[in-house]
A and B are shown apart, each in its own frame.
Chain A
Amino acid sequence: MIAVLKTLVHLAAALPLVWLYYGAVNDTIGADPVERVIHFTGIGALNILLISLIITPLAKRFKKPVLLKFRRLLGLWAFTYALFHLLNFLFFELQFDWRLFIDEVIDRPYITVGMFAFAILVPLAVTSWSKVKRKMGKSWQQLHNWVYIAAVAIWVHFYWSIKSDIYEPGLYAVGLIWLLSLRKDRISRWLFKRK
């Protein structure tokens, strides 16, 4: 049963990417396929990350620990979307102009923040194997608490990238604040390190 559900989650995350790149390569998803793949994977990464953050509170509230089995999988998909987002920007927007890429990361605050968020997601993804988790013991959780900082950074990246709309980032802000407020004790303990 779990295996079936997991397969479905994988499909739900993977098929949109297949659809996206099929359309983008064939130039059938709007006038600017480059902008389209960047936006789609970026907002996709944020959406999946928020879904992954809702799992723990749901599992607690409804006493369904089985839900926790989906947390890592969603986190890794969020990372995958973020990775595609970054690669889209580098490959298709900047067309492999590494020099420009470095300049942009340094010069544009919203890209700097986005890279910062991605830099957090990398070690989280790398340490997601059960083996590594066991080896790391307590420090694993310490490390993975950084996801909250990544989530906030991703939101800032999103908000700064928008020209004038405040409605959509506003909705995401409400969602994010709610998700973080559900863990305010854990987060404040982590940030202010009371032993």
Chain B
Amino acid sequence: MLIKSKKSYQLTDNDVTDEQVYVNRRQLLKSMGYIGAGTLLSQSIARSASAAPFDFWGGSDQASFTQQALNYQKAPATDELLTPEAKVTSHNNFYEFGLDKSDPARNSQGLKVKPWQLTVSGEVSKPVTLDYDDLFKKFPLEERIYRLRCVEAWSMVVPWVGFSLADLIKQAAPTSKAKYVAFETLYDPEQMPGQRSRRIGGGIDYPYVEGLRLDEAMNPLTMLSVGLYGKTLPPQNGAPIRLVVPWKYGFKSIKSIVSIKLVEKMPPTTWNILAPNEYGFYANVNPDVSHPRWSQASERRITTGGLFARNRIATLPFNGYGEEVAHLYKNMDLARYY
């Protein structure tokens, strides 16, 4: 007999309210893009965008990044309202492409993901290198609907497509010295204007780096995502491959990864370097530990509806995934190790 236990991340059924948005998403995306280009565009960004070889909004849509449909195992139906695709792909923190949340969708469309190389190295006995096609072929892809909680106290519900990070790490056969996993985003100032200019990139030292403890990385929830809404990731969401750690704040989920290194010591992480008192290494979603600028007790869920949508909800410990991950932190003071 097959016994299937339902995990809390396997959310249950239906996207009733969102269907219209889903159907109209191309149109919506376009209209938002034009508003972005026409009215929100700061002049400096406009200059840098038009100077780039890809003039996305100035020219035709042909210059835009194309997403491909993926083959994957569908997630069980969910009763959690999905964030419309157009919002998932137009509301991004990806400072390599600009500080405003609408910047990445506008400035990243020329990103070249083919060829791509993702290496798994460090304290492993069988280093792995995946090229672009391997990202989609090496492991069977499955859809997982996860809540994404940003440290800025907004959240989304996103249907990711990908595979467990654990599967990849196991293949590399970590040695006994491997205690942590260090991730690195592509460093390519030619393609990423924020890496060229401190002004566009917010004065962050690039490449963006992140890290997990090995047991966190091996947790079945931890995912490498190569797609969302059934298609390959667009660049603003971290094409071609990104991390998703649903019980941690969004900034842990590093985008456009080129390197995964197993290491002995806790690796540096970008936001922790920038402001250690605000962003800890762990960054577990915790309603009881406030950020200096945001109470984390509640959040605004971004779904459909305009200004008057009543969407403020209580934030759950570990973003609601405590059942799967709380044991990882059993004897830790999470107010100290935030």
Chain A: residues with CB nearer than 8 A to chain B? 21, 23-35, 37, 92-95, 97, 100, 103-104, 107-110, 160-161, 163-167
Query: Is B113 part of the contact surface with A, judged by Cβ < 8 Å?
Result: no
Q: How far is the CA of A103 from the CA of B287 in the complex (A)?
A: 14
Residues of A within 8 A of B310 (CB): 95
Among B101, B152, B293, the residue within 8 A (CB) of A110 is B293
Q: Are B312 and A94 in contact (CB under 8 A)?
A: yes
CB-based nearest A residue for B200: A167
Q: Are B35 and A167 in contact (CB under 8 A)?
A: no
Residues of B within 8 A of A165 (CB): 99, 199, 202-203
Main secondary structure of the interface of B (DSSP, over half): loop
Known A-B contacts A28-B35, A32-B101, A165-B203; the reply to A108 vs B304 at CB < 8 A is: no
Known A-B contacts A26-B306, A94-B312, A100-B295; the reply to A35 vs B154 at CB < 8 A is: yes
Which of the segments B4-12, B83-91, B118-126, B255-263 contacts the partner chain?
B83-91
Listed from nearest, the 6 A-B pairs whose CB atoms lie closest are: A31-B91, A27-B306, A31-B87, A164-B202, A24-B307, A95-B312
Residues of A within 8 A of B222 (CB): none
Among B102, B154, B290, the residue within 8 A (CB) of A107 is B290
Q: How far is the CA of A165 from the CA of B99 in the complex (A)?
A: 8
Report the minimum CB–CB distance from A10 to chain B (whole Å): 21
Q: Are A25 and B308 in contact (CB under 8 A)?
A: yes
Instruction: Give B48-62 interface residues, CB cut-off 8 Å to A.
Output: none
How big is chain B's contact interface, by range?
A: 35 or more
Residues of A within 8 A of B293 (CB): 108, 110, 160-161
Residues of B within 8 A of A160 (CB): 293
Among A27, A32, A97, the residue within 8 A (CB) of B312 is A97
Q: How far is the CA of A23 from the CA of B293 in the complex (A)?
A: 27
Among B102, B152, B305, the residue within 8 A (CB) of A30 is B102
Chain B 114-139, CB-CB to A under 8 Å as 1, else 0, gives 00000000000000000000000000
Residues of B within 8 A of A35 (CB): 101, 154
Q: How far is the CA of A97 from the CA of B302 in the complex (A)?
A: 18
CB-based nearest B residue for A171: B199
Q: How far is the CA of A34 from the CA of B300 in the complex (A)?
A: 9
Q: How far is the CA of A93 from the CA of B310 in the complex (A)?
A: 10
Q: Are A32 and B91 in contact (CB under 8 A)?
A: yes
CB-based nearest B residue for A29: B35
Residues of B within 8 A of A97 (CB): 298, 312
